[in-house]
Amino acid sequence: MFSWLITQILGNLPTWLWPALAGAAGAVYFLAHLISNFPNLKAYAFFIKPVSFAVIIFSVFMYGGAGVTAILQAQLKEQEGKIAVAQQASKDTNKAVKTKIIHDTKVIHDTRVVIQKEIQHDAAKMDADCKLDPLAIKDLNDAAKNPLGTSK
């Protein structure tokens, strides 16, 4: 929770803040260097110098981190954009496959209906001229049987 809060606070700070802070700390460091020449103020300079130095280091570190975060965020956004396009293409592909199967099934079914009608139309003639031997039916059924067993 605490780390999340810190991340939120740091994430919402503008990037320009860090170089500005580093510059300000550098200026303070320089001033501390100047006032160290005055004996009365030397004690303050002794305290200010390490603090401003630490602030410079911290600011530079945070500036580096902010830069990296900005690059990563841009990459992430680009990747998310690509994924959104790809997901739409994927949905379109699914839709196209469904539509094609429905269309193909209808064409195959319609052809079957036509052939069935032809068989019914010609049935009387072909049945009058030809009587099927039960062996022919047995052979036909054997050929139609799945050699790998019943499918699931």
Residues binding other proteins (CB under 8 A): 53, 56-57, 60-65, 67-69, 72, 75-76, 79-80, 82-83, 86-87, 89-91, 93-94, 97-98, 100-102, 104-105, 108-109, 111-112, 115-116, 119-120, 122-123, 126-127, 130-134, 136-138, 140-141, 144-146, 150-152
Smallest gap from Cβ 28 to other proteins, in A, equals 14
- Which of the 8 DSSP states describes residue 146? -
Q: 42 or 91, CB closer to other proteins?
A: 91
Residues 84, 26 contacting (CB under 8 angstroms): no
With tokens 């700070």, the residue in question is: 13
Q: 37 or 120, CB closer to other proteins?
A: 120
CA-CA distance, 130 to 62, in Å (whole number)? 94
Smallest gap from Cβ 40 to other proteins, in A, equals 27
Smallest gap from Cβ 90 to other proteins, in A, equals 5
Smallest gap from Cβ 82 to other proteins, in A, equals 5
CA-CA distance, 97 to 110, in Å (whole number)? 20
Residues in the chain: 152
Q: Mutual orientation of helices 17-35 and 42-129 as an angle, nearest 10°?
A: 170
